[in-house]
Structure 1
Amino acid sequence: INCAAFPEGLLESELFGHMRGSFTGAVNNKQGLFEIADRGSIFLDEIAEMPMALQSKLLRVIEDGTFRRVGGVTDIKVDARIISATNKNLRQLTGERLFREDLFYRLNVIPVNLPPLRERKDDIPLLIDHFLHKYGRSSVKIDNSSMHALSNHEWRGNVRELENIIERIVTLADGEVISRDILPPEILHTSEPATVNPELGTGIDLDKVLEELEKAYLLKALDTANGVKNEAAKMLNISFRSFRHRLSKYGIK
Structure 2
Amino acid sequence: AIDLLQKYDFPGNIRELENLIERSVALSNTNIILPESLALSIHKRRWIEGIKDKRFDLDEVPKGVSLDAILEEIERAYIEKALDCSNGNKNKTAGLLGLSLRSLRYRIEKLEIEK
> Taking structure 1 as the reference length, what is the TM-score of the superposition?
0.22
**Higher strand proportion, which one?**
1
- Asked which structure has the greater CA Rg, the reply is 1
> Taking structure 2 as the reference length, what is the TM-score of the superposition?
0.46
